[in-house]
């Protein structure tokens, strides 16, 4: 049961694709805590999914957003400013690399594939943080949370260029935390254990990765969606007010293992 009260607070959740999305799990728990939310959809193909999910939330704002388009980013924050007047948290749950590049060894990554992976998966955090900053300052501060994965730290078979993009994302978390700290804006990442999401299904050998994780993680299971969402809730609440620039592993302990 949620005991954190975020009534009167507002949030933007970027990256909902369907009901299995980590972004949607986070949106649900933030809403349960009383936060009013804006959700974005990437394109017309995903719009119906996002609008159907959003309809289960109280008074949501649903907006189009391609994170590679600065004009759309500006439009999202303008709409949030007009509708909410403030912003307390931003959930960044966006990552992409062309499948043909994920299927190759990293050494064979195309220049264009590298550019796309870094733009969508890492630079978008900086672009969204820049848009969120004025609205969070109006609120007296805020919390930005992004999602990463252990493949940023160690080589994970099949993760390839996405691992490099996530490493850049985690470095961005630290630099953004330093830039935005004087405005009382915190920036953190959750390093999530493998989950059966739409994005994960595009990773070669993902089901084998999931099985191995369940067998070897200290808790001998994979992480639950509510555990990931609960960590985001904590980071977006006053309970996390002293934490910034961190990568918090929520993976049933898998990251502590050697062999």
Average pLDDT per consecutive 10 residues, the chain (259 residues; last block may be shorter): 86 96 97 98 94 97 98 98 97 96 95 98 98 97 98 92 98 98 98 78 69 90 94 98 98 91
Q: What is the pLDDT of residue 199?
A: 64
Which of 41, 149, 150, 254 is the catalytic position?
149
The reply to whether 106 belongs to the active site is: no
Sign of the C-alpha dihedral computed for residues 199, 200, 201 and 204 taken in this order? positive
Provide the 3-class DSSP secondary structure of residue 41. Answer: strand
Q: Collect all residues with Cβ–Cβ distance below 8 Å to 160 and sequence separation of at least 6.
A: 97, 101, 102, 104, 105, 106, 109
Q: What is the pLDDT of residue 209?
A: 76
Q: What is the pLDDT of residue 158?
A: 87
Q: How many CB atoms lie within 10 A of CB 16?
A: 26
Domain membership of residue 60 (yes or no) is yes
Q: What is the pLDDT of residue 252?
A: 95
The number of distinct structural domains making up the chain is 1
Domain membership of residue 163 (yes or no) is yes
Cβ 180 vs Cβ 187: under 8 Å:
yes
pTM exceeds 0.85 for this model: yes
Domain membership of residue 236 (yes or no) is yes
Domain membership of residue 82 (yes or no) is yes
Which of 41, 150, 159, 254 is the catalytic position?
159
Cβ 95 vs Cβ 162: under 8 Å:
yes
Domain membership of residue 257 (yes or no) is no
Torsion (CA) 156, 233, 29, 95 in degrees, nearest 10: -30
The reply to whether 41 belongs to the active site is: no
List the alpha helices (DSSP H) in 60-198: 70-83, 99-102, 111-118, 124-138, 160-180
Domain membership of residue 1 (yes or no) is no
Domain membership of residue 255 (yes or no) is no
The percent of the chain in helix, strand and coil, each rounded to the nearest 5, is 50, 15, 35
Query: Which residue range(s) make up the domain with 73?
Result: 10-250
Distance, in Å, from the CA atom of 108 to the CA atom of 101, rounded to the nearest integer, reads 8
Q: pLDDT (tens digit, 9 = 90+) per residue, 36-50?
A: 999 999 999 999 999
Among 59, 60, 63, 53, residue whose Cα is nearest residue 24: 53
Among 30, 5, 185, residue whose Cα is nearest residue 93: 30
Q: On the CB side of 164, how many CA atoms lie within 13 Å of its CA?
A: 16
Q: What is the pLDDT of residue 202?
A: 58
Domain membership of residue 26 (yes or no) is yes
Q: pLDDT (tens digit, 9 = 90+) per residue, 1-15?
A: 558 999 999 999 999
CATH label of the domain that carries residue 79:
3.40.50.720
């Amino acid at each position: 049961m949620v005991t954190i009260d975020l009534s009167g607070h507002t949030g933007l959740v970027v990256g909902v694709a369907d009901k299995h999305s980590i972004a949607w799990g986070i949106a649900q728990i933030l809403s349960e805590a009383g936060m009013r939310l804006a959700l974005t959809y990437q394109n017309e193909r995903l719009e119906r999914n996002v609008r159907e999910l959003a309809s289960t939330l109280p008074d949501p704002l649903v907006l189009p957003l391609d994170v590679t388009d600065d004009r759309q980013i500006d439009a999202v924050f303008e709409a949030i400013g007009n509708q909410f007047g403030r912003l307390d948290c931003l959930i960044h749950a966006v990552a992409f690399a062309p499948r043909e590049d994920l299927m190759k060894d990293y050494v064979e990554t195309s220049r264009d594939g590298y550019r796309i992976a870094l733009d969508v998966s890492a630079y978008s955090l900086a672009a969204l943080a820049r848009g969120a900053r004025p609205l969070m300052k109006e609120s007296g501060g805020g919390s930005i949370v992004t999602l990463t994965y252990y493949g940023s730290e160690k080589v994970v078979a099949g993760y390839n260029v996405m691992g490099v993009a996530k490493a850049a994302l985690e470095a961005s978390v630290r630099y953004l935390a330093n830039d935005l700290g004087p405005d009382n804006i915190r920036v953190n990442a959750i390093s999530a254990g493998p989950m059966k999401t739409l994005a994960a299904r595009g990773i070669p050998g993902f089901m084998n990765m999931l099985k191995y994780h369940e067998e070897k993680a200290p808790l001998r299971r994979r992480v639950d969606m509510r555990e990931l969402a609960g960590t985001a809730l904590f980071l977006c609440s006053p309970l996390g007010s002293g934490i910034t620039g961190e990568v918090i592993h929520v993976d049933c302990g898998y990251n502590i293992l050697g062999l």
